[in-house]
Structure 1
Amino acid sequence: MMIERPSRHSGVLVSGRPVTYLLMQSRSDPEDWRRMIGWSAEAQAAGLGIYPQVSSRGIGALTSLQGYHFFLMRRAYHEVSTLPLSERAAALRDPQRRAAVLSQPDDPGVMALDPKLADFIALLRQNMANVYPMTEETLDYEPGPERKAGGLAQAAGISLEELIYDHYSAADGRKICASFMLNYAEGNLDATYEMLRQPFVAAALGDGGAHVRMVCDASWPTFQLAFWARNRKRGPILPLPHVVKKLTGGNAALYGLSDRGVIAPGLRADINVIDHDRLRLHLPEMLFDLPSGGGRIHQSSSGYLATMVNGVLPVVMT
């Protein structure tokens, strides 16, 4: 293996290799991303391969009765926590149990079973007023301020905990709450739009499996095609070819995967056939199919007609 000797370019050490880094909008400095984009653009103009990696939507956590949620450490909840989901939701709707869960503090005995989880639930609770209750019908990754739990509770004349508890326990217990801690500092995805529209920005940054009980980043490609190229209502969308390139040839080129990413003779024929008008995501749900019955959030979709892997059609979907 031959290693190139670094050189100097305009006073900057050049490795001869592309550099990519994580870029998100934070609440602590909502405009910091603009500086990073500007410096990256200057580097690109100087011939330096520096590529920010940007998430295509708000980054945070999904909570539900199937995974983590705000009442997980309450003894009255813990007593029914092993029931099948629909039975658990029904048990939680019982007026006596509802009153008990809502009136109890987190139980030290339950917290001692998993202290780190208890700390995480406490952290989630600090942002409770800013979560967005969602259902299959209201699944929206750019909700407005009127959809926040705090405002909904005030309008309904009930406490914040009551609103979220009733949301979790309704029907079969599959409803979720979403919180966006990054890329949503101003209550919209305008900053994400400005980042994604830059040709040198990589639409990437998906979680590789460390937080599968609270996020489902495997659905990002579908989200980008459906939301950014068609569905967005609170701001401009991106051209479909721009989104497709970021999902395919753009990222393949960044990582040196020269055998894929475009449709051309001699390259891998990794192709999705999509009915873009029907493409949509469904409400996330928990599957318990990991080793030892571990759970992970799964998000199904509609609109994929077929998938070819290196020219082979192993799966046909409807």
Structure 2
Amino acid sequence: MADLLVRGGTVVDGTGAPAYRADVRVTGGLITEVGPDLASRGEPEIDASGAYVAPGFIEAHTHVDGAMWWNPDLDPLPAYGTTTVVFGNCGMSVAPLKESARGPVLDLFTFLEDLPLDAFHNNVPWTWERWPEYRKACEGQQTTVNVAGFVGHLTLRTTVMGAEAAWARAATPDEIAAMAELLDESLGHGAIGLSTNVFDKDRYLKLVPTRLAEDAEFEALIDVLAKHPGATLQMITRFNEPENIDGDVERFARICGPRGVRGQWTAIPSTVREDYLREQTIALHRRLREQGIDFWPNVPHKPLEPFFNFERALTFQRVAAWNEWINGPAETKLAVLADPEWRAQAREDYDNRISSSTSRLDRPESLVFAISETGAGPLDISWRAYAEQEGKHLSDALADWIIANGIKSCMKGIPDEFDEPVVADLFKEPHTLTNINDSGAHLQLFCGSGENVYLLTHYVRDAGLLSVEEAVHNLTGKLAGYFGLRDRGVIAEGKAADLAVFALDEIEVRPEIKLYDNPDGSWRFSRGNSGVRATVVRGVPTVLGAEPTGERPGTMIGRSA
């Protein structure tokens, strides 16, 4: 069903312009008419009375590169009005990827993003090594949303250099040329840009390969981006290290600026406790814009409420003994926790960790024991309070609690307070990006999917800090314009018929729930339906009457003129 009529709604067109009463006609998957009281042509109709009709929402930062193959419904994205997602972020993509490099790339990918490794090996078809074959495979895979992808620099580097060299040294001129050639081919066949990462470490606490790249490597790759109008750079910088934030972003600005390449960087922090860091990053943002650098900072809009599980995670990465334990074999975990030698090392590693402004490990009072496998408890008490109550070192107290409660137990983070007026003002600027919520990643840490709706329910409806037009613009037209997806993101004749129909008093970000539906039998967090009345992709409803339809009209898309 690619023809329909959305009748009786208030159109918020995605540009930020005032909303207006109009019907929207869709023909052949495109918007063909927008105006009041359109006559029926016998096509199916969606009743939008009392609701807004907006362009479909865009997820700007996801890791559904694998899930689109084993969970093509991409639950719960459609139920939150999402019609397009961007993946291949953080320097990691599944193409172009040589078979010989697949093992180390997937090991890193699944470690950093908390994803099931076996599912990548067993449920992704791997009918490609280069981007043209990858695009063909994606276009043949039916999903509920459209997908657009970055080329991951980590993947590119490992494919060209091999894992041993990529993790050990700078690239040679020949290797740089080979990376540039693969990137050029990928961009020519629909990749939207390059993502890179100078922040992360792998499961063995070694710097990820892109942190070894010298300026000559970045210059050659960004030269390629400059050849493809609209291609962008996504960079994960050392956003939690105040002494390195400016230097990392300015390094890329020196390279991108003269080449006219647009980029996004992490991040202007939103929490009240990071006001000092927010001032620093806002000043950096202002300085770059004044210099004519087309860089857009990421700005989170919803406080994170992460679950810390003990099955596998990267949340303890800065405490070596705990990091090794949490990613070790399940059958020995409880015995290791009781071992005096391990406990001594864990105490030492915790006391000598590198501090981070974003880490909950430095704020044990913000982590509450929330879920017990055995029922032993106690629950609803913070890690710090429990340690003080028991008179134990924080590391020992946590070990004892896990022994009593089981490794399938969880702590949960108390949400940080956001400086919402400042955040809302940043969203009103033309060169900032939101909806950066890691949808599809960290499956047992949180559910990023659905957090887009918080911009509407909280900032618009409850707090009155944004107008509905401003919020929708940030979730649609602004993002589409940034990524060069110019055939969508706006309700206008000739644009792709990707739509979201919602009423502010009907929608909500639902609580997280556990679903045991990963191919390897592991669980992930999801959410119940938001109450969005309809989500339409290429003219086909994926949600109707607030319930999924089972349709999968999504395809791979790329930059457009």
Distance 2:456 2:529 in 1: 12
> 1:207 deviation in Å?
1.4
Match of 1:142 in 2: none
Distance 2:370 2:423 in 1: 21
Q: For 1:263-283, what per-residue CA distance to the aligned partner results, in whole angstroms no more than 9, with x for missing partners?
A: 011111111111211211222
Return 5+ residue gaps in structure 1 as ranges: 80-100, 136-146
8 Å CA contact 1:131, 1:149 repeated in 2: yes
1:252-271 → structure 2 map (5 Å cutoff): 252-271=480-499
Match of 1:35 in 2: 280
- Cα 1:134/1:249, change in 2 over 3 Å: farther
Distance 1:124 1:218 in 2: 22
Picking from 422, 433, 438, the partner of 1:207 is: 438
> 1:258 deviation in Å?
0.7
> 1:132 deviation in Å?
6.0
Counterpart residue type for residue 18 of structure 1: R
> 1:29 deviation in Å?
5.9
State whether structure 2 residue 430 is matched by structure 1 residue 225: no
Return 5+ residue gaps in structure 2 as ranges: 1-187, 189-225, 229-252, 317-324, 354-358, 372-379, 548-561
Counterpart residue type for residue 274 of structure 1: F
Distance 1:257 1:179 in 2: 37
Distance 2:493 2:269 in 1: 40
8 Å CA contact 1:67, 1:214 repeated in 2: no
- Cα 1:281/1:204, change in 2 over 3 Å: closer
> 1:62 deviation in Å?
2.0
Distance 1:283 1:289 in 2: 18
State whether structure 2 residue 272 is matched by structure 1 residue 272: no
8 Å CA contact 2:270, 2:418 repeated in 1: no
- Cα 1:192/1:67, change in 2 over 3 Å: farther
State whether structure 2 residue 228 is matched by structure 1 residue 20: no
Q: Secondary structure of the residue that 2:534 maps to in structure 1?
A: strand
1:1-318 → structure 2 map (5 Å cutoff): 3=227, 13-25=257-269, 30-45=275-290, 47-59=292-304, 61-63=306-308, 106-108=337-339, 127-131=363-367, 149=382, 177-180=412-415, 184=416, 187-190=417-420, 192-232=423-463, 237-316=465-544, 317-318=546-547
> 1:59 deviation in Å?
3.9
8 Å CA contact 1:252, 1:261 repeated in 2: yes
8 Å CA contact 1:252, 1:258 repeated in 2: yes
Distance 1:247 1:148 in 2: 37
8 Å CA contact 1:229, 1:238 repeated in 2: yes
- Cα 1:179/1:195, change in 2 over 3 Å: farther
8 Å CA contact 2:365, 2:382 repeated in 1: yes
**TM-score relative to the length of structure 1:** 0.60
8 Å CA contact 1:270, 1:311 repeated in 2: yes
Counterpart residue type for residue 178 of structure 1: G
- Cα 1:238/1:176, change in 2 over 3 Å: farther
- Cα 1:151/1:3, change in 2 over 3 Å: closer
Distance 1:252 1:175 in 2: 37
- Cα 1:127/1:209, change in 2 over 3 Å: same
Counterpart residue type for residue 272 of structure 1: A
- Cα 1:267/1:195, change in 2 over 3 Å: same
- Cα 1:248/1:195, change in 2 over 3 Å: same
Q: Which has the higher contact order (CA 8 A, sep 6+)?
A: 2
Paired residues in the alignment total: 254
> 1:195 deviation in Å?
3.5
Distance 1:301 1:257 in 2: 27
8 Å CA contact 1:174, 1:285 repeated in 2: no
Distance 1:221 1:188 in 2: 16
Distance 1:303 1:26 in 2: 27
Distance 1:174 1:280 in 2: 27
Aligned residues: CA RMSD: 4.9
> 1:259 deviation in Å?
0.7
Q: Secondary structure of the residue that 1:51 maps to in structure 2?
A: strand
Counterpart residue type for residue 477 of structure 2: G
8 Å CA contact 1:37, 1:195 repeated in 2: no
8 Å CA contact 1:67, 1:286 repeated in 2: no
> 1:299 deviation in Å?
1.9
> 1:296 deviation in Å?
1.3
Distance 1:277 1:67 in 2: 39
Distance 1:47 1:17 in 2: 11
8 Å CA contact 1:130, 1:148 repeated in 2: no
8 Å CA contact 1:57, 1:192 repeated in 2: no
